[in-house]
Amino acid sequence: MGSGPHRFVHLFLLMIPTWLSSSFSDAYKFYVGGKDGWVVKPSEEYNHWAQRNRFQINDTLYFKYKKGSDSVLVVKKENYDSCNTKSPIQKMDGGDSSFTFDRSGPFFFISGNAGNCQKGQKLIVVVLAVRHHKPQSPPPVAAPGLSPASGSPPAVSPGSWSPEPSEGPSSTGDVAPAPSPGKDGSGSMRFGVGERSCPSYNTQHVVDKVKDDDGKLRWKRVKVKPEEHVKVPIFPETESGIYDQYFDDYVSRILTERTPNSKPLWEVHVIKYPTTNAAGTVIMKLHHALGDGYSLMGALLSCLHRADDPSLPLSFPSRPENSTKKSILKRLPSAISSFFDSIPDFGWSLIKSGMMEDDISPIRSGFEGTESQPFALSNILFSLDRFKEIKSKLGVTTNDVITGMISYGIRLYMQEIDYETRMANSTAVVMLNTRKIEGYQSVKDMLKPDSKGQWGNRISFLQVSIPKLSQDSISNPLEFVWKAHKIIKRKRHSFSVFLIGWLLDLEMKLRGHEAVAKHIYTTLGNCSVVISNLNGPIERMALANHPVKGFYFTMTGGPENVNITIMSYMKTLRVTLRTLKGFIDEHKFKCCIQNAFEVIYKAAMEETQKNPELN
């Protein structure tokens, strides 16, 4: 168990409906200059913008400018270099002009005003060639301990990846020197996804080599070798052409494998095989030492853009502001109540973290070292509109409904596996971000010393008892929503979360990262379920110009047997379940969560019919 604290890892999974190397029939429209349009001094240099995007045949460039004051010329390279406007290949001067790529290779654009061109109003775009060859698959290798006749799919080859040189500007060359690591060991680098660059981290934790005079481990700056971190697995062919089983087994292996300390702590896995959910999947495995979910999400969003209009920023759900401002006298009773609520909450949290364990149950085995055992990953997709419908009917929040559904689903599963455990003492640890900021920031902004959303691990946690499945709650499942509403309302005004965050910061300063990791590891081990959530964009995103169908994440490396993550994206809510294989029946657990939602939804609709005042 001693190695546990080193293992915390985030997995972000992007589901691609049409794969990166698929047909180019899905053309994409690029807005040159974004919101600035075709001007002399855009906020981002045109060629820098082109370097971080991926262009294919049939894609279109859209130039926005005022008719009569400027134009766009397609020219040869020598005329591009000299800003010669006299003999263009094509001239566009209609005000809002579009240009569609009909071949691969470089294209050169300049302003029809020679003076503007000399000031930098010019653009080079390199269109990728289409490759029709299919990589040959090596003979499948049987998994250790399994015979080919066992019916289990063979293990997959990890494959390899290396950047291919191309004409014109490229963003996948040598890694730029990283800035000096910060106090939390942060640095920076860029790695390419298609032709789009994404910020990541150029830091390495070398256990045996980098120690100071006190024997403390430090970060070491290294030059990243992309081929060691970007992996393209090769699966054996299937008759159906669908690779669900191979994909599930591959993800299970990623969840179990420990990130080596001998190189930078990140990996990208590109799954170029269709499943029933998507044509391909990109998996980003990022060690928690690099940053928490907020930090890593901000970095990941730097690789993505709005699918409908890349010139516009992604937007995220926001909390409704409280328009009524209370005087100090009116707020005083609430502050006093919060203070007296916070003390027992904080004390109970310390006891739960240090000495009080949950009961052994169908969701908590109590075994040590389960983090190194195989885990299964499954997803449930819900309509956010249906959650909002329950919310408006009952007069609660969306979080109340989600929490009530998960609690009720967990208890249904426990009762089905072992009836007696419906009354077991079970606790959920809710991981929280302590930054007082809405939305995400870019990596550049997060690294600023005065940033409100600083990069790193700014986390706390909240321990919440899972309501027991009494006879009353069986007859009225809305009891779980009401209890969730009451608990969340009380905890929202408690200082306990910030006291725990302050305690973790103090422990880090006095005892170091390892002590904090051990503290969190023990806390998770004493409880039954770990829950965390992130807000995704409201609009559809695109990766290297390809729309992202689904987006979810999970955490691995902790001692818990059940980990639940929640991600909103567009008008959907995805609940991801990471469950211990051989102990948790993942199919039954998933069905119980789904059934819990349907039962709560039906009860909410019937409740409003019985009590019209709830409408």
Span 370-394, average pLDDT: 90
Tokens standing for residue 582: 């051989």
**If residue 464 lies in a helix (H) or strand (E), which one and from where to where?**
strand 459-465
Contact 521, 559 (CB under 8 A): yes
Sign of CA dihedral 62, 63, 68, 71: negative
The pair phi, psi for residue 61, each rounded to 5°, is -95, 135
Give, in order, the Cα–Cα distances in Å from 581 to each of 278, 361, 556. Answer: 24, 15, 14
Phi-psi map region of 429: left, alpha, beta (phi>0 left; psi -120 to 50 alpha) = beta
Tell me what pLDDT residue 176 has.
27
CA distance 48 to 171: 9
Tokens standing for residue 194: 């298609």
Which of residues 407 and 500 earns the better pLDDT score?
407
Tokens standing for residue 228: 């060691």
Q: Is the pLDDT of residue 509 over 60?
A: yes
- The long-range contacts involving 385-388, CB below 8 angstroms and separated by at least 24 positions, are 385/571, 386/597, 386/601, 387/573
CATH code, residues 29-127: 2.60.40.420
Q: What is the 3-state secondary structure (H, E, C) of 146-164?
A: CCHHHCCCCECECCCCCCC
pLDDT in tens, 533-554: 888 899 998 887 788 888 888 8
pLDDT in tens, 180-226: 333 333 333 333 333 334 444 343 433 334 455 566 666 667 777 77
Tell me what pLDDT residue 472 has.
66
Residues of the chain with CATH 3.30.559.30: 328-614
Residues of the chain with CATH 2.60.40.420: 29-127
Contact 421, 468 (CB under 8 A): no
CA distance 448 to 609: 54
Contact 420, 414 (CB under 8 A): no
CA distance 15 to 292: 22
What is the CB neighbour count within 10 angstroms for residue 2? 7
Range in 156-165, 411-420, 495-504 with the lowest mean pLDDT: 156-165
Task: Select from 68, 54, 239 the least CA-distant residue to 163.
Answer: 54
Return the amino acid letter for 374. P
Quick one: what percent of the chain has pLDDT higher than 70?
75
Q: Going by DSSP bridges, is the β-strand pair 304-306/541-543 parallel, antiparallel, or unpaired?
A: antiparallel
**What CATH architecture is 328-614?**
2-Layer Sandwich (3.30)
